[in-house]
Amino acid sequence: MSRLVMKFGGTSVADLDRIRNVARHVKREYDAGHEVAVVVSAMSGKTNELVAWCKDASPLYDHREYDAVVASGEQVTAGLLAIALQNIGIPARSWLGWQVPIRTTDAHGAARIEDIDGTAIIDAFGRDREVAVIAGFQGIHAATNRISTLGRGGSDTSAVAMAAALKADRCDIYTDVDGVYTTDPRVVPKAKRLDKIAFEEMLELASLGAKVLQVRSVELAMVHKVRTFVRSSFDDPENPRPGTLICEEEDIVEQPVVTGIAFSRDEAQITLRNLKDAPGIAAAIFVPLAEHNINVDMIIQVISGDQKTTDMTFTTTIADFDRACVVLEGLKEQIGFAYLEGSTDVVKVSAIGVGMRSHAGVAARAFKALSEKGINIRAITTSEIKFSVLIEAAYTELAVRTLHTLYGLDKA
């Protein structure tokens, strides 16, 4: 008998009919003899509604009470799914984060899991073969005995962490797509579903714009070696497709040079002109930004011909763009730049693949192909298994399609 964690997102449990459909998926695995724990999100749109209520009640709301409010969405779903399972003859009970317990830090609204005690759930497996329906996205800060939430996408993290704690044989993440694709099928109709993808590749895809899985959930899966499937809850529960397996690199026999193309529209570019070229300038710029919790990604420094001045260009998220500009303008005299230029009309396009480790010229081919399409590259970053380019947003779809074809992903 194997042990399985199944996770269902908001669109999968959007109403009672879909919750009943989820129950049929669970029944299939239960009837196959598995010990099953199910992690659920709030119904689609419910968390946004609860967040709006908090903001309407007070723009400067208490984050501890915010967590108490928004965690209720998953509580409703867990209870309803347990009822639906009982209605088709499967023993089930709902578990809230504090009942498991899932212990977290006290960073309310963005807590991190510190420990999960799955003893009570495992006991119920052995005693009654009871299905555990667990409210995702939430836990408890033990020292204060307060409910905590894990931030957007936290149910994915809950599921993988639960799989690790229960020593599950696998974790199935059910969503509204039937797996991980070589890129967004809405942009490239020829995009193909991947049978397998390495943890490192999925981590890069998730962090670079692919919205299939939350980044922290992939990190946990990689650290704890949790075999994770991405599957569709909209498949026929009696005959579901296999989805995409996220696994270790050595489990993939045929590894392409490039596995996928990701893109992120949540990018903003800032350039500081005519800085004095002297030691400590980079620190004078980026330390204050870090102190204001502003994340910086791509960084380019261009030194003038006389080597006396330099331009510094970097990217941040659109949400942080205005704050970053205010911080830097306030330090203009201290940093010593002539003026600041900014743009939110940019996009980051990335190619990811562990095969890049053993192949030269992968990025160079992309630069040539993009130039032939008249696409100007504003910034470049590279790592061992990916490269990213910053381009004008108007060329997003053309760039993604060009790279997808260039690396043979249309035929994958």
Percent of the chain with pLDDT over 70: 99
Smallest Cα–Cα separation from 215: which of 225, 228, 205? Answer: 205
CATH class of the structural domain 261-411 = alpha beta
pLDDT in tens, 330-354: 999 899 899 999 999 999 999 999 9
Distances (CA, A) of 226 to 9, 35, 176, 229, 405: 19, 16, 21, 10, 32
What is the maximal distance between C-alpha atoms in the chain? 79
pLDDT in tens, 61-77: 999 999 999 999 999 99
pLDDT in tens, 201-210: 999 998 887 7
DSSP string for 219-280: HHHHHHT--EEEEETTS-TTS----EEEE-GGG-SS--S--EEEEEEEEEEEEEEEEE--TT
pLDDT of residue 306: 67
Q: Is 293 helix (H, G, I), strand (E, B) or coil?
A: coil
Tell me how far apart the alpha carbons of residues 348 and 66 are, in angstroms, rounded to a whole number. Answer: 33
pLDDT in tens, 17-59: 999 999 999 999 999 999 999 999 999 999 999 999 999 999 8
**Domain residue spans of the chain:** 3-250, 261-411
Tell me how far apart the alpha carbons of residues 214 and 202 are, in angstroms, rounded to a whole number. Answer: 10
Q: With beta carbons less than 8 A apart as the criterion, state whether 214 and 279 touch.
A: no
Ranges of residues in the chain with a pLDDT under 70 are 1, 304-306, 412
Strand duo 131-135 + 113-116: pairing: unpaired
Tell me how far apart the alpha carbons of residues 278 and 271 are, in angstroms, rounded to a whole number. Answer: 17
Distances (CA, A) of 2 to 33, 36, 123, 211, 212: 8, 9, 15, 29, 26
CA within 13 Å, CB half, 240:
26
pLDDT in tens, 272-294: 999 888 888 899 999 999 999 89
Write out the H or E segment, with its range, that includes residue 309. Answer: strand 309-316
pLDDT of residue 305: 65
CATH topology of domain 3-250: Carbamate kinase (3.40.1160)
